[in-house]
Amino acid sequence: MISRRVLITGISTYWGGRLAQALERDPAIETVIGVDSRDPTRELERTEFVRVGTQHALLRRVVLAAEIDTVVDTRLVVDSTTASASEAHENNVIGTMNILAACSGPGSTVRKFVLKSSAHYYGTAQDDPAFFTETMHRPHPPRTAIERDIVEAEASIADFADKNPAVCVALLRFANVLGPDVRTAHTRLFSLPAVPMILGFDPRYQFVHEDDVVAALEHLTRNDLPGIFNVGGDGVLALSEVAGLLGKPYVPVLLPWATGIAASVARRLGLDIPPENLGQLRFGRGLDNRKLKATGFRYRYTTRESVVKLREHMRLHPIVRGVQEPYRYEREVEEFLRWSPNVRDPAYRAEPRLNSGQLVELQKAMSAAPAGRGRPPSKSPVEHYDDLTAAEIGSLVGSLERDDLEELRGYEEGARARSTVIRAIDRALERASSVGR
Amino acid sequence: MATEERRRSSLRVEDPAREDFGDPADSELAARRAGDMRPFLPGIEPERRLNDWGRSERIEGAFDRTLYEWFYRYWFRCEVEGVENVPAEGGALLVSNHSGALPPDAPMIGKAIREEHSHPRPLNITVEHFFKGYPGFSMLIPKLGCVAAHPDNVQRLLYDEGQLVLVFPEGRKGSEKLYKNRYKLRRFGRGGFVEAAMRAQVPIVPVCVVGAEEAAPVFAQVGLAKRLTGLIYFPITPTFPHLGALGMLGYLPAKFKIRFLEPIEFDSEGMHEDKSLVQTVAHEVRARIQENLFEMVRTRKSVWFGW
C-alpha cells in the first residue's frame, strides 16, 4: 500500500517535525496532518497542524474526516527528563490507547500504523544478552516509570495488531539518540566537562544519529513492513571509548552502591541522570540492528560516527551559537500564508503538488462530472508551470498556440489568478487572434 | 488468508524468510529469504580499539605478553596435545573441565591456541552473568575476551561471527568444588552447550585440563563471607584470603597438560530440538573428558614435574 494521506501524532516533538519535513518534500504524499497539544517547533510548509488535547480524545473525527491512511506516532516520551512522570504516563499510556482507538473500529480508513518506541523496552539487567533481537523480551519486569509506560504502550500496540489484521503495524525500538539538534539525557551528559561513570563499570553503549532516526521512520512509512524493528547504529562502544572520542576524562562520580540515592542527590545539584539511564550506566545495552538492514535500510552513521559528529558539534557550538533563529509557530501567520488569496508570491505558499497518477484520476473525475460548473482545468499545458514566476510566464506565453493559451488562462484563473499573468496571457491571445485573422 | 495469518502474528513471530522484499541485490535477497542475517553484521571500524563485545586487543595483548606468558611458560610449563583438533576457521565450541578458585584453565587454553595452533585465533570465554554485575570485574573481564554465558551470545558468536567459544558446562560448581573432589566432573548443566553447538551447526571440541586443580586447591567454602562480599563463592586456598585479593593469583606451580580431543560434528539442521539426542551427546562429551582426565592423572608421575 502506498501512503498518501499521513497523520503524524506528536508533530511538535523534534521527531514529528523532522518526519513531516521529510514527507512534505515528496509530491506522492497528498496530505500531511500533524496533531499535538503544543505548537510545532519545526518550520512546516504544507503540513496542516491541528491542536488536540494530550489524551487525543477527538482524534477519530480528524482521522475519518481527512481519510487518513497512515498514522505515524512519534509522540512517546522516552526520556523522563523531558516530562513529569504523570505527564509521561498520560501521554504514553492513555494517549496511545486513544490514538489506537481512533484508528480502529468499523469504517476506519487507516491501513498503516508506525510507532516510535524505545530500546528502553528491553531494560538493562545483569543477565541480558549482549545484543537484543526483536523477538527477545526483557528478563525482568520494568522498575522505572518510563520503562513501565513503554512496555504498556507496546502491549496495547500488539493488541491492536492482533485485532486489526488488515492494518500494517510497524514498531521501531530506537537506541539512545545523539545528534547536534536533538536534546536528550545523553547529549546533556556528554556536554558536561567530564563523562560521569559508576565506579568499576564500563558499560556498552549503542547510539543512533538523529538523521538515521528520521530516515528509519520515513523508511517504515513508505514501505509496508509489519513487525518490530530495532534501530541503532552499527557498532557498540564502551563508555570509556565514547569518552575518549569526545576527548573528555572519564570520572567515577557514582559509587556502585546506593547509586539511585546518589543520583537523586546529583539531580538536586543539577546533574540529571534519569533513572532509566542509571541501569545503562551500569550494565549497558546492545541491539541487533540487522532485521531493519535486511529490509533495505542503510544507516548513514555508525555509533562511532554519531559520537564523532556530536563532538564536532560541541566544539563548534560555542562559536556559532545564536546564528540560527529558532522557529516560532504563530497560527494566524501560518494560516494567512497558506490560505489567504492575498498571498501572491508563490515562494511563500507551498501548495500540494500532485503526481501524474493523481492527475489522471482527477481528470477522470472531472470528465465524469457535469460540465456546467466551470471548475478550473487541473493541468496546465506548460510543464512545471507552478514553479515559474510571473515574469517567466510572461516571456513564455508568446510562444504558445491559441488553444494552449486559452487553457492556460483557465488554469491560472482557477489556481492563483495572478492579474499580471492573466493580463500577459490576454495580450498574447489578442496577438494570436490578430495573426490568425 | 496467508497474508492475514502473517500480519496477525507479525508482532510476535519474526520470520524474515516469509517477508516480501523489494529490489535488493541478489545475494542479499537470497540471504534474507533463508533468514540468514550474517551479511548484515556490522563492519569492522579500524579506528576502534574495542570490538562490539567490549574486547580490547590492547589490554588483552598486555596481559598476554606479561602475566599469561609467565604463567604459561614458566610457572605451569603448559604441555599441549591435539591442538590441531581446533578448526582453523569457522565457529567451534570448546568444552572443558573447570577448576581452581580464580580458574587459571580458561586463559591457559586461550594461550595454548595462540601459541601452538597453526592459525592462532582469539578465544571467547563464556563466564557467569555475575561478572557483569560486580564492580571492577565488569570493567576488566569483557576486555579480556570474556562474554556472558547467554545462549543468544553463544549463538551469535558461533553461527553469525564464526568464532571460537569456550564453555565450562560445570559452571561455578566446577570451580568451587573442594580439593578432595578433584578431577571428578560435576553435572554438565542441562546440556545447553550441546544445543548451542547443534543450533549453530558447529563442532564441539572437548578439552581436558590437568594441573589446574592442584595449582589452586580449594580447601573450604565460607558461606558467610560469600554473602558479605557479594562474590559467587568465597574459597579458602593456600594464599586466599590471608594474602588479600592478589592471593587469588597465588597459584602453586603445578605442571599443566591441556589435551584437545577429536571434534564432534553436527551437520543436519534442527537437531537441537531433539532433547534426548541433546542429553545423549552431553553425556558422551562428559564421559570422554572424564575418561581422558583419569587417563592423564593415572600416567602422571608428579604433580609438579608431570609426565
pLDDT (0 to 100) of residue A310: 94
Determine the distance in angstroms separating the CA of A67 from the nearest CA of chain B, rounded to an integer.
22
Residues in chain B: 307
Taking the CA atoms of A370, A372, A376 and A382 in sequence, report the sign of the dihedral they define: positive
Q: What is the pLDDT of residues B126-155, one digit of tens each?
A: 999 999 999 999 999 999 999 999 999 999
Instruction: Say if residue B211's pLDDT is above 90.
Output: yes
Percent of chain A with pLDDT over 90: 50
Which chain A residues are Cβ-neighbours of B152 within 8 angstroms?
Answer: 129-131, 133, 136
**Spatial distance between the Cα atoms of B139 and A139, rounded to a whole number of angstroms:** 22
Instruction: Say if residue A389's pLDDT is above 60.
Output: yes
**Spatial distance between the Cα atoms of B291 and B185, rounded to a whole number of angstroms:** 10
Dihedral angle computed from the Cα positions of residues B238, B243, B245 and B250, in that order, rounded to the nearest 10 degrees: -40
From the DSSP assignment, how many helices (H) and strands (E) are in chain B? Answer: 13, 9
Supply the mean pLDDT for chain B.
87
Amino acid at A70: T
> How do A195-198 and A227-231 pair as beta strands?
unpaired
Among A133, A226, A241, select the one facing B7 at the smallest CB separation. Answer: A226
Which chain A residues are Cβ-neighbours of B52 within 8 angstroms?
Answer: 130-131, 204, 235-236, 286
**Spatial distance between the Cα atoms of A168 and B20, rounded to a whole number of angstroms:** 13
Instruction: Say if residue A383's pLDDT is above 50.
Output: yes
Determine the distance in angstroms separating the CA of A135 from the nearest CA of chain B, rounded to an integer.
7
**Spatial distance between the Cα atoms of A144 and A9, rounded to a whole number of angstroms:** 25
Domain boundaries, chain B: 52-217+254-299
Q: How far is CA B30 from the centre of its chain?
A: 32
Would you call A169 and B10 a contact, using CB atoms and an 8 Å cutoff?
yes
pLDDT (0 to 100) of residue A391: 67
Q: What are phi and psi of A383, to 5 degrees?
A: -70, 145
- Greater confidence, A53 or B295? B295
Best mean pLDDT range from A77-81, A431-435, B179-183: B179-183
SS3 B20: coil
pLDDT (0 to 100) of residue A27: 87
Which chain B residues are Cβ-neighbours of A126 within 8 angstroms?
Answer: 129-130, 132-133
Amino acid at B216: A
pLDDT (0 to 100) of residue A357: 56
Q: Among B138, B144, B159, B228, which would you mutate to test the A interface (most chain A Cβ atoms within 10 Å of its Cβ)?
A: B138
pLDDT (0 to 100) of residue A270: 79
**Spatial distance between the Cα atoms of B222 and B240, rounded to a whole number of angstroms:** 12
DSSP line for A294-337: HTT---S--HHHHHHHHHHHHHHHHHHTTSSPPP---HHHHHHH
Alpha-carbon separation of residue A384 from A260, A353, A361, A431 (angstroms): 61, 10, 19, 25
pLDDT (0 to 100) of residue B29: 54
Would you call A129 and B28 a contact, using CB atoms and an 8 Å cutoff?
no
Residues 6+ apart with CB under 8 A from B164: B86, B91, B92, B94, B113, B121, B122, B123, B124
Which chain A residues are Cβ-neighbours of B156 within 8 angstroms?
Answer: 130-131, 288
CB proximity A304 to B under 8 Å: yes
Residues 6+ apart with CB under 8 A from A317: A180
Would you call B53 and A130 a contact, using CB atoms and an 8 Å cutoff?
yes
Candidates B238, B211, B247, B241; CA nearest to B226 is B241
Best mean pLDDT range from A257-266, B8-17, B218-227, B244-253: B218-227
SS3 A86: helix
pTM, two decimal places: 0.81
Q: What is the pLDDT of residues A290-343, one digit of tens each?
A: 999 999 999 999 999 999 999 999 888 877 766 566 677 787 888 888 778 888
Percent of chain A with pLDDT over 70: 85
Q: Which residue has the cell 528491553?
A: A122
**Spatial distance between the Cα atoms of A268 and A278, rounded to a whole number of angstroms:** 16
Which chain A residues are Cβ-neighbours of B14 within 8 angstroms?
Answer: 133-135, 227-228, 291
SS3 B148: strand
pLDDT (0 to 100) of residue A43: 86
> How do B235-236 and B204-210 pair as beta strands?
unpaired
Candidates B106, B105, B83, B112; CA nearest to B262 is B83
Instruction: Say if residue B17's pLDDT is above 60.
Output: no
**Spatial distance between the Cα atoms of A145 and A123, rounded to a whole number of angstroms:** 12
Would you call B4 and A165 a contact, using CB atoms and an 8 Å cutoff?
yes
Q: Out of A159-173, A221-235, B23-37, B114-128, which region has the weakest mean confidence (pLDDT)?
A: B23-37
Report the complex ipTM.
Answer: 0.85
Find the helix or strand (DSSP H, E) in which A186 lies. Answer: helix A185-190
Instruction: Say if residue A204's pLDDT is above 60.
Output: yes
Residues 6+ apart with CB under 8 A from B97: B105, B168, B170, B174, B183, B185, B207, B208, B209, B289, B293
CB A145 within 8 A of CB A85: yes
Would you call B47 and A304 a contact, using CB atoms and an 8 Å cutoff?
yes
CB proximity A241 to B under 8 Å: yes
Q: Is the peptide bond before B241 cis (omega within 30 degrees of 0)?
A: yes
Query: pLDDT category, B64, cuts 50, 70, 90?
Result: very high
Instruction: Say if residue A36's pLDDT is above 60.
Output: yes
CB pairs A-B closer than 8 Å: 135
Would you call A161 and B156 a contact, using CB atoms and an 8 Å cutoff?
no
Would you call B8 and A161 a contact, using CB atoms and an 8 Å cutoff?
yes
Candidates A349, A403, A385; CA nearest to A394 is A385
Which chain A residues are Cβ-neighbours of B31 within 8 angstroms?
Answer: 294
**Spatial distance between the Cα atoms of B143 and B138, rounded to a whole number of angstroms:** 9
**Spatial distance between the Cα atoms of A200 and A195, rounded to a whole number of angstroms:** 14
pLDDT (0 to 100) of residue A150: 95
Backbone dihedral region for residue B227 (phi beyond 0: left; psi -120 to 50: alpha; all else: beta): alpha
Q: What are the residues facing A36 on neighbouring strands?
A: A51
Alpha-carbon separation of residue A130 from A146, A327, B302 (angstroms): 22, 41, 43
Instruction: Say if residue B118's pLDDT is above 60.
Output: yes
What is the CATH architecture assignment of B52-217+254-299? 3-Layer(aba) Sandwich (3.40)
Percent of chain B with pLDDT over 70: 89
What is the strand order of the sheet B79-81 is part of? B79-81, B257-260, B204-210, B92-96, B164-167, B123-127, B146-148
Alpha-carbon separation of residue A375 from A367, A371, B201, B255 (angstroms): 11, 8, 69, 98
Determine the distance in angstroms separating the CA of A234 from the nearest CA of chain B, rounded to an integer.
5
Q: What is the pLDDT of residues A326-340, one digit of tens each?
A: 677 787 888 888 778
Find the mean pLDDT for residues B244-251: 84
**Spatial distance between the Cα atoms of B119 and B117, rounded to a whole number of angstroms:** 5
CB A84 within 8 A of CB A120: no
Among B21, B54, B136, select the one facing A200 at the smallest CB separation. Answer: B136
SS3 A373: coil
Would you call A202 and B54 a contact, using CB atoms and an 8 Å cutoff?
yes
Among A129, A165, A234, select the one facing B43 at the smallest CB separation. Answer: A234
- Greater confidence, A404 or A350? A404
Query: pLDDT category, B284, cuts 50, 70, 90?
Result: very high
Among B42, B47, B150, select the one facing A129 at the smallest CB separation. Answer: B150
Which chain B residues are Cβ-neighbours of A225 within 8 angstroms?
Answer: 19
Would you call A241 and B19 a contact, using CB atoms and an 8 Å cutoff?
no
